[in-house]
Amino acid sequence: MEWKTAGLDDLPVYDKLVKLARNPFDLTAPGAMSPRRIASYKASAAGFDLLFSTQRVDDAVLHGLQQLADQSGAVDQFLDMKRGAVMNRIEGYESENRQVLHTACRDIFHEPPYNDGATQQAKKQLADLEVFLAQLDRGEVVNAEGKTFTDYINIGIGGSDLGPRALYLALSAYAQKNRRVHFISNVDPDDAAAVLQNLDLGRTLVGVVSKSGSTLETLTNEEIIRAAYARADLKPRDHFVAITGQGSPMDNPEKYLRSFHMYDYIGGRYSATSMVGGVMLGFGLGYAAFIDILRGANEMDRAAEERDIRKNPALLLALLGIWNHNFLGCETVAVLPYSQALLRFPAHLQQCDMESNGKSVTRNGERVSISTGPIVWGEPGTNGQHAFYQLLHQGTSIVPTEFIGFRKSQHEMDLEVKGTTSQQKLVANMLAQALALAAGQKDTNPNRFFAGNRPSSVLLADKLTPYAMGGLLALYEAKIVLQGFIWNINSFDQEGVQLGKVLANRFLNHMTIVDQGGVQDRSRHPGSWAMLEAAAIFKEDRRV
C-alpha cells in the first residue's frame, strides 16, 4: 500500500482549500461563463461527459483538488480495493473485516482480472445464469402445466431491491416481449397484496434475495407469497429461485428451483451487478443486455483509475462533492435525472451514498473531525422544475445539483411540437437550469431576483442503453467509495442500522406477550400505548 489512513483535515492541501473557499469562483460575474470555460471544464469517460463549468471552481481550486486526490491516495486505495485488500474494517475494533469486490462481478472482459478468485466466482454464477435463462427461453424449464414463465417477482429489501429495481425501471424500454418484473420489498402487507392483484402465479417465477438468508422483511414477504401459492394449489419449489450466500439457510435445493450465490465481499448496496440484479435483469431484459450492463460498468471501473482528475469523471465528481460539502458548507446534494426511466435511480444513490458515508468514526475508530456523507435526494426533471426547484433557485439553503441527461430518447417515439422534439425540450431544460442556478438574474422586483452561484454538474451521454446504465451505476459507486477514502471512513459497513433492528425485535417479542394475555392496559393511553410499551422495553434492556 502506498497510502496511509489520514483524515481530510490532516492532509497538507486542506488549509489551502479552506483559504480558496473564502472566495470561490463567482459564476454571476460578467463573462464568467465564457465559451472557453464551458468547453474546457469537461471530463469524459465510458460514454459520459461530466460538464462542470457551473461549479464554483477555477484552475487554482482544480489544482488543489488534484493535490487532494494525490495526497489522499484515493486512486491507490481504489486499486487496492479492486485487487482484494480488506477495506471493510475498523482498525483496532471488532468489525466486518472483509474484502470489497463488487468490481470483480464485471471484471470479466480483460485478462488477467484484478482479483482472480472473485472473478472466477462471478463467471461461474454467470455461466449458471446463462444456462438457466436459455432453459427458460427454450421452454425447457416450465411450470407444472408445461407453460413458460412470463412474470417475475423480486423479493428483497435495501440493496436487494433499490439498485436492481432502479436498473430494471431504467431499462424497461428494452424488456423482452412477454416478460414483466414486479417488486416486493416493504414489510407492509399492502405491498405484497398490491403485487398479487392481477398476477397469474402459475406463470410467475419468484426470486428471493437475501445474503444471510435471514432478512426478516424478505422472509416475511416470502411466506406471504408462498401462502398465496399454496392457496392456488401450486408448488413453490417449481417457482422459487434463491439468490443468497453459499450455505445460507436459503441455499436449499429442496425449497428452490435454483440457487444463485452472492459473496460476503459484496455489500448489499453495491450488489446490483452481482446475481442480486443479474437473475431478475436477465429474466426481464435478456442475458445479453445484462452483459452489456456489466461491460459499461467495467469500462467505468477502469476509467476511475485515471490519476488526472480532468480525465476521471468519477474522481472529479467525488472531489467536487467534497469541495461543495466540506469547503463551501452545503449539507445536501440533489441528483436530478432528466430521464423518466431513471425515476428510482436517486433512491438507489440515496441508499448507496448515505449508507456508505453517513459515518462518524474514522477507519482508526476515532471520531471524525470533518463532515462526512451528505444527504442525497432527488427526483426526475422536468417534473422537479414544477415542484421543489423554487427552493433550489430562491431558498435560503444552497443545494449542489447533479443533473443527468441523454441526447436521445430510449423509445425514439417522439413528436415535434412548436419546432422542437420532446427530447430537445428535455435537454434544453436541463442545461437552462444549470445556467440559471449558476448565473442568477438581477431584477428591481426583489421577489424576481436570483442570487445565482448555486453550483451544479451535468452528466451527459448519448442514450440510456444497458451499457450506459452500467457506466452510470459504476460512476456513482466509484464516486462514493473515493469520497469515503478521502474522508478516511469505512464506506462498507452499516452498524448504524443495527440499533433500530434490535429494538424492533424486542418490541415485537413484547407485543407477542401482550397479545397473549395483556401485560399493560392499552386503553389507559389510547394512541400512545405502543410507544409506551416500546419505551418500557427500551428502558429495561438499554446498555449504559
CB of 120 to a second copy, least distance (A): 29
Other CB atoms within 10 A of residue 540 CB: 9
Closest among 372, 386, 272, 310 to 65, alpha carbons compared = 310
CB of 123 to a second copy, least distance (A): 29
CB of 476 to a second copy, least distance (A): 14
Q: Of the two residues 287 and 338, which places its CB atom closer to a second copy in the complex?
A: 338
> Please, are residues 4 and 13 in contact by the beta-carbon 8 Å criterion?
no
Q: Of the two residues 121 and 324, which places its CB atom closer to a second copy in the complex?
A: 324
> Please, are residues 184 and 154 in contact by the beta-carbon 8 Å criterion?
yes
Q: Of the two residues 372 and 453, which places its CB atom closer to a second copy in the complex?
A: 372
Catalytic pick among 177, 386, 411, 539: 386
CB of 367 to a second copy, least distance (A): 7
- The question of whether 16 is a catalytic residue gets the answer no
CB of 110 to a second copy, least distance (A): 26
Q: Of the two residues 3 and 377, which places its CB atom closer to a second copy in the complex?
A: 377
The span from the CA of 363 to the CA of 415, in Å, is: 54
Other CB atoms within 10 A of residue 183 CB: 21
The span from the CA of 500 to the CA of 506, in Å, is: 10
CB of 457 to a second copy, least distance (A): 11
Catalytic pick among 147, 235, 442, 501: 501
Q: Of the two residues 133 and 157, which places its CB atom closer to a second copy in the complex?
A: 157
Q: Distances from the Cα of 55 to the Cαs of 37, 285, 393, 490, in angstroms?
A: 11, 37, 15, 28
Closest among 326, 226, 229, 209 to 275, alpha carbons compared = 209
Q: Distances from the Cα of 213 to the Cαs of 198, 243, 332, 497, 514, in angstroms?
A: 28, 9, 34, 18, 29
Catalytic pick among 217, 222, 299, 355: 355
Q: Of the two residues 77 and 423, which places its CB atom closer to a second copy in the complex?
A: 423
Closest among 374, 352, 312, 361 to 62, alpha carbons compared = 312
DSSP code per residue over 219-231? HHHHHHHHHHHHH
> Please, are residues 176 and 152 in contact by the beta-carbon 8 Å criterion?
no
- The question of whether 355 is a catalytic residue gets the answer yes
CB of 111 to a second copy, least distance (A): 31
> Please, are residues 180 and 156 in contact by the beta-carbon 8 Å criterion?
no
Closest among 345, 305, 339, 343 to 460, alpha carbons compared = 339
Residue whose grid cell is 462498507: 492
Q: Of the two residues 88 and 115, which places its CB atom closer to a second copy in the complex?
A: 88
The span from the CA of 217 to the CA of 268, in Å, is: 15
- The question of whether 331 is a catalytic residue gets the answer no
Distance of CA 236 to the CA centre of its chain: 31
Name 260's Cβ contacts closer than 8 Å, sequence gap at least 6: 125, 128, 129, 241, 242, 243, 244, 275, 278, 279
CB of 431 to a second copy, least distance (A): 4
CB of 96 to a second copy, least distance (A): 10
Q: Of the two residues 151 and 355, which places its CB atom closer to a second copy in the complex?
A: 355
Q: Of the two residues 67 and 383, which places its CB atom closer to a second copy in the complex?
A: 383
User: What is the number of alpha carbons within 13 Å of residue 306 lying toward its C-beta?
Assistant: 21
The span from the CA of 469 to the CA of 449, in Å, is: 38
CA angle 370, 374, 377 (to 5 degrees): 175
Active site residues: 355, 386, 501
